[in-house]
Amino acid sequence: MAETAKTVIIEEFGGPEVLRIVEREVGEPGPGEVRIRHKAIGLNFIDIYQRTGLYPLKLPAALGMEGAGVIEAVGEGVTHLRPGDRAAYASAVPGAYAEARVLPAAQVCPLPEGISFEEGAAMMLKGLTVQYLFERTHPISKGDFVLFHAAAGGVGLIACQWAKSEGIRLIGTAGSAEKCRLALEHGAEHCINYREEDFVARTREITGGRGVPVVMDSVGKDTFDGSLDCLEPLGMMISFGNASGPVPPFNIGMLAQKGSLKLTRPTLFTHIGDFETCQAMARRLFDKVLKGEVKIDIAQRFPLEKVADAHRALEARQTVGQTIITV
């Protein structure tokens, strides 16, 4: 009899109510694939984008991009993992919301013994995102200012720590005094409560009127124009998410008018698409965690059966730090 696993799927796009748990056949890994039994699963905003159809998937579809567990079987050609190995991943192929799954092996990484399964599940997509933002997107030097929106979120708290460990002066934004306190505790030099202060004016004040060389913005529609206004001449706007909705079309001439600004819209999955690059990025992230320069704070846990509640909390911005789904 074929082995099955509880798996969260959607058969239509919509709110958290469209999430369904079904028993699905797991199957054996083919060439270049592995089968992993999850110990913990990560929760990310991209899961919501896919559930709502902002990032369309072919239906029915399984959700979830990040997890950690034990390798049960490997397919032909897989040499960096063996059955019994601890592993963690961020994958371009959804399906992590499951007790077990088969997926391409290239982006599955051996998980060091010093990092727990829960930490591994919570850190891969978000931590690798921070790694490419700070080290693979635009040159950032020690002492530079960076403006980082949503600084108390899952990516944000890792970014605060990463910046501090590299001597980068991170100015965060967050939506409450409590979230600002968290960002400051994790290494932000400043944190602006955007519900009480104009983040553009405050950023200009902090930088002596000049602005910052780099803005990292995962909020999207609500902060895009203001983010551009925070940049110094020749500054780089990194728009890497759409938590408030997609950025509407705009006149590219605006970049010239505001100081010959640069704009990029990267995605993690381009950076980790190459096997060697992905594994090297993961080793860099693991090293940061093992040295204690980055701590993975898991603030919320939801069982797989309560995945809809996890989505509601994330969408309502009721979460801080990392959130995992337990199996």
Q: In which residue ranges of the chain is pLDDT below 50?
A: 1
The secondary structure of residue 120, as a DSSP letter, is H
CA dist., res. 115 & res. 283, Å (int): 12
Q: Where in the chain is the domain with CATH 3.40.50.720?
A: 138-265
| CATH hierarchy code of domain 4-124+269-326 | 3.90.180.10
CA dist., res. 79 & res. 97, Å (int): 26
Strand partners, 67: 41, 89
Superfamily of domain 138-265: NAD(P)-binding Rossmann-like Domain (3.40.50.720)
What's the pTM?
Answer: 0.92
**What pLDDT, on a 0 to 100 scale, did the predictor assign at position 2?**
59
The secondary structure of residue 18, as a DSSP letter, is G
Residue indicated by tokens 């110094």:
232
Strand partners, 20: 9
Q: Where in the chain is the domain with CATH 3.90.180.10?
A: 4-124+269-326
**What pLDDT, on a 0 to 100 scale, did the predictor assign at position 65?**
96
Main-chain dihedrals φ then ψ at residue 104, nearest 5 degrees: -60, 140
CA dist., res. 57 & res. 14, Å (int): 12
What distances in angstroms separate CA 162 from CA 11, 105, 134, 182, 317, one per listed residue? Answer: 39, 27, 8, 15, 23
Helices (H) and strands (E) in the chain, counts: 10, 16
Of 156, 178, 177, 153, the residue nearest 319 (C-alpha): 153
